[in-house]
Amino acid sequence: MQIRYAVAGMPIQHSLSPVLAVLTATHLKQAGLKVQLEEIKLLESDEVTTPMAWAWVNKSRNQIGIHNRLYGDPATSESHSRLHRIASEIMSKVKTADSVNVPHGETLFHQSEERIKVRRGDNESWISLTSPLKHLLSPRSGVHSLDDGLENGSVNQLRWDGNNWYCAGTDGHGLVAIARHFGFNFESTGVETPLLCMVGGGGSARSCAAAWSNAGGIIWSMNGRRSLDKRGPWVQNLISAEDVVDYVGPRLFVDFDSKTGVSESHRFAVADLHLNPVYNSQEVAWVVEQNEVGYQLDGRWLLAAQHLEAWARIFCPEAAHLLPGLGLTMTRLLAMESALRAD
């Protein structure tokens, strides 16, 4: 199966998604899946029609390449080959997760679910969407939605199989996976129900609110530049600021109004898990840090979790049981970043 993969949005030059895509594809190839990323592209656009038009053609037209400081322009043969070469080296060296990345054991994706049969084209185009494209598709777009992402305006993954478009929203599923990875128990009820303290109401926030409420958690919407829509499927799981004090269950705080590359949020809430939803592709001292309050997580966690969910839900659901765990993926991501800087 030949795959053309793109990341689209604005800004886009900081994205580490191409690194994760190559790592995941290399892992699955070693597990026996015939998947080849023949093209990788960074597409800067504030219109969703641009990446969709890229997917329809067999060969990309000449465009100004988007250069990432870590891996260059992945559309060039030099950077493309370099990514695959270093990914293969990482696979041979990093076979287990660093202990700090698996505080409660490894998190695997969709291990127990029935294998899903997917109609496949010989050549497919897969696209990861970032801001501001996640809300631009509508139910009238002619895209087959695999979840509630289209309805909620939170689509961040597209797949073109040569005949049909499919879409999904995986930010929220990734957030829930992270919470479970760090010990949150969504089977708890009453005052011990997991609490999401969330700033913002954009596409990522709506995806997270939908997935969190569907998992059984409750949500304190702390407003922000855009308030969370009170008409969504999460409305029954919203609580007021006055009621927050009564809940003693685990809390996750995330500020979706954070700016790309800024490590600190301007908002704060007492929580067991503080997740920065953004990241930059510069070297980081840590991606998980524990202190007297709880865990502080770099945005790479959400990136990795939602990326694995994309492979499990829309890109290769038939091979979800072969995907690497979240802790192992984070360990490999950091190792590959280091190798790319040293190369």
Pick the most confident of 48-62, 120-134, 213-227, 296-310: 296-310
pTM listed for this prediction: 0.94
> Percent of the chain scored above 70 by pLDDT?
93
pLDDT of 62 higher than 60: no
| Average predicted confidence (pLDDT) for the chain | 91
Starting at the edge strand that comes first in sequence, how are the strands of the sheet with 36-44 ordered? Answer: 36-44, 2-9, 123-129, 157-160, 165-168, 143-145
- In this prediction, residue 260 carries a pLDDT of 56
pLDDT single digits (tens) 246-277: 999 999 999 998 765 444 555 667 899 999 99
Residue-level pLDDT at 320: 92
**pLDDT score, position 94:** 97
Question: What is the band of 226 on the pLDDT scale with cuts at 50, 70, 90?
Answer: confident
Question: What's residue 262's pLDDT?
Answer: 47
Q: Does the structure show a pLDDT above 70 at 114?
A: no
pLDDT of the residue at 292:
81
Q: Mean pLDDT across the stretch 322-326?
A: 96
Per-residue pLDDT band at 82 (split at 50, 70, 90): very high
Which residue segments constitute the domains of the chain, with CATH numbers given?
2-170+307-342 (3.40.50.10860), 173-303 (3.40.50)
Residue 28 and residue 308 in contact, taking contact as beta carbons nearer than 8 Å = no
85 pLDDT above the threshold of 60: yes
Q: What is the pLDDT of residue 120?
A: 77
What pLDDT does residue 60 have? 53
Region label for 157, one of left (φ > 0), alpha (ψ between -120 and 50) or beta (otherwise): beta
